[in-house]
Amino acid sequence: MIEWLNTIPAGVIYLIVAGIIGLESVGIPLPGEILLVSAGVAASHGVINPVLLGTFAALGAIVGDSIGYAIGKRFGRRLLTWLGTKLPRHFGPKPLAQAEGLFERWGAWTVFGGRFVALLRILAGPLAGSLGMPYRKFLLANAAGGIAWAGLVTALSYAFGLVAGQWFHRFSWIGLVVAVVFAWWSTRVIQKRVERAEKNQEEPEPAQS
């Protein structure tokens, strides 16, 4: 991929990187991180400017996630409602309420950290919109995550070459496992709280003497 980037004008490389990362952030599974690593290595060879590369990568991530959020907000609830009729155990009102509670509590960290984790990088924006996360809160977490991720990937790729891509690949999948375990634990905690609240509401009040 680096050889291919060497044949493209610098300005076009910035746009390609921003576009691919943006489309990945919308929810399309594209190799945005691999492309950014390769572009970072190309920057270390003097092909492009690393600061501009990181800037365009961050813009692509922020804009793409915002578009994914808008799509999730517009169509996500309808999709979740339809899934609830087909798979009520997993997408019914109760599981959906638990997911909303989970996202309300940890949503900002999910959006920020999801930028560094495989799969969550694709789903964070649409999921935040579907579950009704306030856009201002989403935008702050999205911008912080996009800038941190783009800056870190660009800097490490510029300094260490393609080996940085292997580090990010391993970290992404480790992060995904950690995120799944944490999400399961948080869901169980919220589920128990909901069940406890429902039980308290169902208990009859003591009779007045």
CA 5/CA 78 separation, integer angstroms: 41
- End-to-end CA, the chain: 82
- Which residues have CB under 8 Å from 55's CB, separation 6+? 150
| Closest to 124 (Cα-Cα) out of 79, 76, 165, 186 | 76
- Reported residue count of the chain is 209
pLDDT in single tens digits along all 209 residues of the chain: 556 666 678 889 999 999 999 998 887 888 888 888 888 888 888 889 999 999 999 999 999 999 989 988 888 777 766 656 665 654 556 655 655 666 677 778 888 887 887 677 887 888 888 888 889 999 999 999 999 999 988 988 888 876 655 655 555 555 545 555 545 554 455 455 545 655 666 555 555 54
Residue 163: how many CA atoms within 13 Å on its side-chain side? 2
The predicted pLDDT at position 43 comes to: 87
C-alpha neighbours within 13 Å on the C-beta side of residue 152? 13
Residue 209 confidence (pLDDT): 47
Rounded to whole angstroms, how far apart are CA atoms 157 and 171? Answer: 15
Say what the pLDDT of residue 151 is.
93
